Structure 1
Amino acid sequence: MSTFIMKTAITYLVLFFTSSAVFSQSFLISNVNIVSMEDDKVLESHLILVEDGEILKIVQMSDTHTVQSDQVIDGKGAYVYPGLAEFHSHIPIDQNGNTQLQEEAMWLYLANGVLRVRGMIGDASHLQLKERIASGELDGPRLFLSGPSFRGSSVSSPEQAAQMVRDQKAAGYDHLKLHPGLEMDEFLAIAKTANQLGVSFGGHISLDVGLRASLENGYKSVEHMDGYIEALIPDYSRVLDPEIAGPFSMLLVEEADMSRLPELVALTLETGAWMAPTLTLFDRYFGFKPAEEYRDIPEMKYMSAQQVESWINAKTPHEQSGILTRENVQPYLDFRNLLFMTLHEAGVPMLMSSDSPQVFNVPGFSIHHEIALMSQAGMSNYEILKSGSVNPARYFGQEEYWGVIKEGASADFVLVKSNPLEDLETLKKPVLVVMKGEIYDQQELKKQLDKIEAKYSRD
């Protein structure tokens, strides 16, 4: 059993909720405007009745008499939306049984309105973490987990690769993550076995496999929009030389034959692949802003000094090599924005993702950087919200249960002061977070953030 105390800062009623693993509490949130994400309309002046962790009723304020609850929260005109996603996360692993880093990451996500997380480098401790959250023992978002990645150093033969797929399916992982370094026969064994078992897979594009073969053999998600620039380079031998290509083929962007792009977009649509663009990873890790300038930005106070230093050390060699100049970086970032919008406007579904915690991307906070970059690239507010709500649910075939606000769906939603369809900045300051019917107010979220900050105090 866990107790959540509501003491909201904007005159919500003071209530006490006692919850259990089955999320048995019932409450009513009145006087709210609902961004349901079933469409781009706002349901003004409504109330939401939550019971046993699900949305039982949604009615207009004028129909208040049709619903009743002993526990009522006055929404004061706030806007309710289904929350955000981080669909490319590197969830920390436990440290010799110590799960503190994992638990801190979960609070960082919740405090930023991130209610669903897809792990992309798996570990057995993640399965335990997921179970603790699902049972109600631990606070956290919905987790969808990959197993340990398939890469050149972990795969030794097609037979061994196929067995890895079977083992991860049996262990209970939700999908498979592929890294670079796979040979074609190894990749085909992974794809064949995963398709037979009904396990989704995706990730980076191995150079010996290429984008086309990856898509044609069942890649469900392409991480970082990887493989596209390489597929556009006429002389593929240059892609294979890291000294020429640079990280993620950055230095070859001006050699890309853009006349090939429509065919690749059509193939992406035909094969049903999804995109996890992680724009902020490239803006920060491979951007021209010096690494040292990230050391003291506000959200770094939630990371240890050692972690921040390791991120600086990861970027510094690229700076020292002369790769990360504005002249090299800006055309590459411009290309990524163009690719992102071309795929999006063609109808390729996007998954909100930032690759956290990864270089200068703090869990939860980095999603707001991703949102800003998606907006700057030209995506509408509605489509941005969709990439963090409806799309992730559809990705796992659960769109009837979460990612939307409707009767019968799980009570996963966030209250903010302004209409997020008009103001993306409001997403940074949740007024109230509800996760499977559990309630977290501003005071509780701040308390958890303060605890993490105090642990990593630089004083």
Structure 2
Amino acid sequence: MKTFKLLLSLAFLALFFAPAFSQELLINHVNVVTMLDDKVLEDHAIYVKDGMIVQIAPEAEISVSGVQRMDGQRMYVFPGLAEFHAHLPNPDQFGPEFQEEVLWLYLANGVLRIRSMLGHESHLALKEKVEKGEVPGPRMFISGPSLNGSSVADPESGRQMVREQKAAGYDHLKLHPGLDTPKFLAIADEAKKVGIYYGGHVSLDVGLVTSVKNGYRSVEHIDGFLEAMLPDGTTIDPTVSGPFNMNLVGQVDQAKLAGLIQLCLESKTWIAPTMTLFERYFGFQPAHELRQQPEMAFLPGLMVTQWYNTKSQLEGNGVLTEAKVKPYLEFRQKLFLDLHRAGVPMIMSSDSPQVFNVPGFSIHREIQSMSKAGMSNYEILKTGSVNCADYFEESGNWGVLKPGAAAEFVLVEKNPLEDLVTMQKPQAIMVQGKLIPQDELNQQLEKIRQKYGRQ
């Protein structure tokens, strides 16, 4: 691959530092995973101009002259991945430079789109810089600041927050626990009036059924299902029920799931599973093991220490023993697959950065978790491409490779429909029509690693 890397490095200098969308490039001899179906277009060429895909065909059928050409050396091209439960950091945490480092962590892992689910005004400015080509990063959808039991004083203040976030330019509303039903219904009603998506956690007082019936676009973490499947009249005591009420999993009535699935299908509700979050944050793998994993070297030491202390405290209190956690994780794994097989749409999400979930890297751990649960490789790729575009009603604009779609894709050595691991090592990525080779991605990763002083 040395020749290919050299070509990419030379192309990078010409393309990445050029004005946004000014490039014209023909990449030939590639195998294209279009995600329009599960077929592969073998030995094709992709013609890109002004940030868009103009043509995908055998090279002999593409009639262009004076265009820079690049030999793809029979690598595989797919639309890249999405992280649809990201938490972009605030600049007051580790500085504005950390925000841009997080964007590089996503890109280096082939994550080309994110939906950030904990808003801050700086995120809107960062999104604009990325769109203008001033800062390298994935395309963004940004939620506003959390609407929860503490931030929403009453129904009218909830409506006001919705209007303000829509006017500010946020793409989504993020709801956290603690909302009572009157507050929630006011937020839902106002969101429909102004035309903004909303979703998040399921407040205990509101419940899954009311949330879904009133237009929840996405249920984060598969939240609320366990509680909705408990026998009628069950009393939940948060002091003993554990995180996400995991200690009540033995009381679940599986017969209730069919009705909940039908409700989700009728209401067109999406699921953001974040499987790896629960396996790592609330799982029984010890904090000291997770702390030593290689990807932790790309984050500030203080952040990793905070994560270690958070999980260690739960371990010290006996909350995360294998006997308590394993049945809950198995329940979530089965629930995930039951929802998927019934046709409830999934969007790829891991929740990053979050306790031991490192941006970009955690998406590959999420992929492993979805595969372990029983989802096919093609369906896994759909959750990170086609489905995410569908979520924002932008079907065909991105998340697929076809003429007229955004020039956003990743080159890898093997067929991701057969080998999921190959996606962990992008040979190059194209974002906004700009090519970034593996060497540059690795250089950025090494720069971040050296900054935080851990080899």
- Under a length normalisation based on structure 1, what TM-score does the superposition of the two structures give? 0.96
Letter in 2 for 1:185: P
Query: C-alpha separation between the residues in 2 aligned to 1:129 and 1:97?
Result: 15
Give the structure 1 partner of residue 48 of structure 2.
50
Query: In the alignment, is residue 400 of structure 1 matched against residue 422 of structure 2?
Result: no
Where 1:363 maps in the other structure, the secondary structure is: coil
**Residue identity opposite 1:308 in structure 2:** V
CA distance in 1, matches of 2:416, 2:422: 6
| 1:308 pairs with 2:307 | no
CA shift digits 1:370-411 (9 cap, x unpaired) = 000000000000000000000010101111210000001110
Say whether 1:326 aligns with 2:332: no
1:195 to 181, 192, 196: 192
**Which secondary structure does the structure 2 equivalent of 1:403 belong to?**
coil
Q: Which among 357, 376, 379 is matched to residue 361 of structure 1?
A: 357
| Corresponding position of 1:184 | 181
How far did residue 233 of structure 1 move?
A: 1.1
The aligned residue for residue 29 of structure 1 is 27
Spell out, residue by residue over 1:44-103, the C-alpha distance to the aligned partner (whole angstroms, 9 max, x if none): 110001000100111113425x23343111000000000001000110111389411110
Are residue 381 (structure 1) and residue 342 (structure 2) matched?
no
Deviation at 1:198, TM superposition (A): 1.3
Change (3 A) 1:456 1:245: same
Q: Which residue in 2 is equivalent to 1:3?
A: none
Number of matched residues? Answer: 452
Do the aligned residues in 2 keep the contact of 1:8 with 1:441 (CA within 8 Å)? no
How far does the alpha carbon of each residue in 1:8-49 deviate from its partner, in whole angstroms, 9 at most, with x for none?
537658334245453101011000000000111100110001
Q: Which residue of 1 aligns with 2:38?
A: 40
Please give the alpha-carbon distance, in whole angstroms, between the structure 2 residues aligned to 1:237 and 1:8: 62
What are the superposed Cα offsets for residues 207-263 of structure 1, whole Å, 9 maximum, x if unpaired? 000000000000000000000000111155532x11231100100001001111101
The aligned amino acid for 2:58 is: Q
Aligned to 2:155: 158
In structure 2, do the counterparts of structure 1 residues 96 and 340 end up closer, same or farther at CA, with 3 Å as the change threshold? closer
Which of 342, 345, 350 is matched with 2:341 structurally? 345
Cα distance change on mapping 1:251 and 1:196 into 2, 3 Å: same
Distance 1:253 1:197 in 2: 38
How many angstroms apart in 2 are the aligned matches of 1:247 and 1:69?
60
Separation (CA, whole Å) in 2 of partners of 1:139 and 1:88: 20
Residue 342 of structure 1: SS of its match in structure 2?
helix
Structure 1 partner of 2:136: 139
Q: For 1:76, what is the secondary structure of its paired residue?
A: strand
Report if aligned partners of 1:31, 1:75 keep a CA contact under 8 Å in 2. yes
Structure 1 CA distance for aligned equivalents of residues 220 and 245 of structure 2: 15
Which residue does the alignment assign to 1:17? 14
Letter of the 2:48 counterpart = V
Matched position secondary structure for 1:238: coil
**Contiguous gaps of at least 5 residues in structure 1:** 1-5
Q: Which residue of 1 aligns with 2:450?
A: 454
Contact 1:28 1:68 in 2 (8 A): no
The answer to whether structure 1 residue 228 and structure 2 residue 225 are counterparts is yes
Q: 1:44 to 1:69 in 2, by over 3 A?
A: farther
Call closer, same or farther: CA 1:119–1:283 in 2, change over 3 Å: same
Structure 2: how far apart are the matches of 1:75 and 1:206?
A: 50
- Tell me the residue number matched to 2:100: 103
Q: Residues of 2 paired with 1:105 and 1:176: CA distance?
A: 22
Matched residues in 1 for 2:137 and 2:442: separation? Answer: 15
Distance in 2 (CA, whole Å) between partners of 1:315 and 1:125 is 29
Letter in 2 for 1:32: V
Cα gap change, 1:254 to 1:404, in 2 (>3 Å):
same
Distance 2:106 2:220 in 1: 20
Task: Name the structure 2 match of 1:84.
Answer: 81
1:390-429 residue pairs with structure 2 within 5 A? 390-429=386-425
In the alignment, which residue of structure 1 is the partner of 2:276?
280
In structure 2, C-alpha distance between the alignment counterparts of 1:76 and 1:97, rounded to whole Å? 41
**Partner amino acid, structure 1, of 2:423:** L
Partner of 2:241 in structure 1?
Answer: 245
Distance 2:114 2:39 in 1: 26
What is the rounded CA distance, in whole Å, between the counterparts of 2:372 and 2:175 in structure 1? 30
Counterparts in 2 of 1:67 and 1:13: CA distance versus 1, 3 Å: farther
Match of 2:115 among 104, 114, 118: 118
Residues 397 and 404, structure 2, Cα contact 8 Å, conserved in 1: yes
Checking the alignment, whether the CA contact within 8 Å between 2:277 and 2:351 is kept in structure 1 is yes
Residues 97, 260 of structure 1: alpha-carbon distance in 2 compared, 3 angstrom cutoff: closer
Where 1:95 maps in the other structure, the secondary structure is helix
Distance 1:193 1:54, change over 3 A: same
One of 424, 431, 437 as aligned partner of 1:435: 431
Whether the aligned pair in 2 keeps the contact of 1:389 and 1:404 (CA below 8 Å) is yes
Asked if the contact 1:375–1:384 (Cα under 8 Å) also holds between the matched residues in 2, the reply is yes
Q: Do 2:7 and 2:70's aligned partners in 1 also have CA atoms closer than 8 Å?
A: no
Alignment partners' CA distance in 2, 1:96 and 1:310: 12
Superposed CA RMSD in Å reads 1.6
Q: Please give the secondary structure, in 2, of the residue aligned with 1:405.
A: coil
Q: In the alignment, is the contact (CA less than 8 A) between 1:27 and 1:69 conserved in 2?
A: no
Equivalence map 1:214-225=2 (5 Å): 214-225=211-222
Tell me, in whole angstroms, the C-alpha distance in 2 between the residues paired with 1:153 and 1:418.
49
- State the Cα distance separating 1:294 from its structure 2 match: 1.1
